[in-house]
Amino acid sequence: MRKIPLDSPKFRTIENININLHGNACGVKFWNSQAERFSKRPQLRWGNDWVLKLVSKFGVVSNSSRILEIGCGAGNYLSALAPMCREIVGCDFSDKMIFYAQKNAERAGCKNASFIAADWREISPEQLGGPRAFDVSFSHMSAAAAKGEGFDKMLELTNDWLVWVQPFSRKDSILDLLRVDVLNRATPNLQDNFSYAFKTLSDLGIPPNLEFRTSVRTDSFNLDCGARFYIGRLSIEKPLSQKEKSKIRACLKSIAKDGKTESRLETILCAMVWSRNGKHSIKI
């Protein structure tokens, strides 16, 4: 199993990038703080995960496939896909996510996995083998490949299949409240990402196959953990002053019950499955 190290000259990693966007550095810090929690999620099963069922339904992966996963996180999907393919490469800008992804792959007995700890925006297709270097490009809930240049690069690197899963809409009872009260901004319109991806693929001749799922869950934190979580999460969107951080703590305290905050997260997920050769259209 190969991990391309953070200080490798082959990839410009977070520490070596002259960051102009505040959210990039804070994003690494935030997702590093979440890596251990993500690593403890149950192992995915092909029979009960809707995205893996789609991969199976369309015959996306074979034992000769080379797969690239953008935003692999702690490796839940990577460890499920690895036994079905020849080679899989996981990329994430959080070095702690990559650490746990490697550990999870080792526990699953995956010997065909490689890992890149680097910012997707800073990786060129040539560094990964050039255009169409992979049979499958896969991304699940990663902002790195959500739209624009990140999505275009994902498409450029796939020789055949593209599997793209993103939130079509999302309502978070606490995060949305804090955005308005602290940042004075509305919840981002995630449907712009969907529109960009759908139009880009459709313009190539065949619209992607679409599948939607609704997810509802609750997240509970004690006040200290909740403050760290939401301050870290909102710091991705803008630099927070001490006054704004104090306002977040005060807001959480005002809505807490028995010293805990509980948020309700409602998400509509969209999966796009597309083949450069049009094979996805057969299953519609």
Q: Tell me how crowded residue 35 is: count the other CB atoms within 10 A of its CB.
A: 19
Whole-angstrom distance, CA of residue 205 vs CA of residue 211: 19
For residue 67, count CB atoms less than 10 angstroms from its CB and return exposed for 0-12, middle for 13-18, buried for 19 or more: buried
> Could you give the CA distance from residue 218 to residue 198 in angstroms, rounded to a whole number?
30
Report whether 31 contacts 94 (CB < 8 A): yes
Enter the pTM of the model: 0.89
Q: One-letter amino acid identity for 90?
A: G
Q: How many Å is the Cα radius of gyration of the chain?
A: 19
Reply yes or no on whether the pLDDT at 19 is more than 60: no
For the chain, domains (ranges, CATH) are: 2-168+189-214+267-283 (3.40.50.150)
Q: Give the whole-angstrom CA distance, residue 187 versus residue 118.
A: 28
| pLDDT single digits (tens) 139-184 | 999 999 998 999 999 999 999 999 999 999 999 999 999 999 999 9
What pLDDT does residue 83 have? 97
Task: Please give the angle made by the CA atoms of 28, 267 and 118, to the nearest 5 degrees.
Answer: 20
Distance CA 82, CA 140 (A): 15
What CA–CA distance (Å, rounded) separates 79 from 63?
A: 15
pLDDT tens-digit map of 198-235: 999 999 998 999 999 999 999 999 999 999 999 999 99
